[in-house]
Amino acid sequence: SGNMTRDVIERATKRGAGELEGVSYEEIRYEGYGPSGIAIMMDCMTDNKNRTVAAVRNVFTKRGGNMGTDGSVSYLFHKKGIISYAAGTDEDTVMEAALEAGAEDIVTNDDGTVDVFTTPEEYAAVKDALDASGLEAVSSEVTMHPETTITLDVKDAEKALAMIDAFEDLDDVQDVYSNADFSDEVMAQLAGE
């Protein structure tokens, strides 16, 4: 901790936990475009909008993107519940339980994984029904889902992932959403396989 006093460390810890007196946090969304015109949107929680907007703008600028105005890309995303199942999960069981519980859509992906989409309001009921039918989800969340995606080649995928990582590294950023589609082949190439 070098020359950091105990007081400085305690204040930083309290700020991180949202416990500082007189400090009010607000939620704010920033959006813009990244490599190959992908849409990127992030939700932030900040006690200093000027600091946060400067940090976000800096990442967009340094990583070859453009920060947009409110609404410039958010219309490309919709809030949805997504419950995902591993490849090999019985599709019929998923489909039957999900549709009966009020799911919006069931998608079987090229890799055999199955995604169940719900409205945010129906998410908990659908998830509970799927759990009750003995299905074990690998992930489930309510998130901002892109209506369409942009498939990236290796070079642009690498740039996009670096930009997304840079946003995720910012203290005030809570969630990052994009409409980039990283194919398994591209991810394998990036992993050096």
pLDDT of residue 182: 86
Whether residues 89 and 134 share a domain: the answer is: yes
Q: Could you say which residues of the chain have pLDDT below 70?
A: 1-4, 8, 11-12, 14-22, 193
Same domain (yes/no): 137, 163: no
In a domain, 162, yes or no: yes
CA dihedral over 16, 17, 19, 24, signed as positive or negative: positive
Q: What is the DSSP annotation of 111-170? A: TS-EEEEE-TTTHHHHHHHHHHTT---SEEEEEEEESS-EE--HHHHHHHHHHHHHHHTS
The predicted structure's pLDDT at residue 1 = 45
φ, ψ for residue 23, nearest 5 deg: -100, 120
Residue 17, in any domain of the structure: no
Say if residue 92 is in the same domain as residue 135. yes
CA pair distance 155, 187, nearest whole angstrom? 11
Say how far apart CA 57 and CA 66 lie, in whole Å: 8
The model's pTM is 0.79
Q: Are residues 172 and 156 in the same domain?
A: yes
DSSP state letter for 183? -
What pLDDT is attached to residue 130?
Answer: 94
- With contact defined as beta carbons under 8 Å apart, do 135 and 94 qualify? yes
CATH of the domain at 98: 3.30.70.980
Q: Classify residue 5: in a domain, yes or no.
A: no
Domain that holds residue 159: 24-74+148-190
Q: Are residues 134 and 84 in the same domain?
A: yes
Residue 109 lies in a domain: yes
Please state the domain count of the chain: 2
Candidates 148, 71, 142, 74; CA nearest to 104 is 142
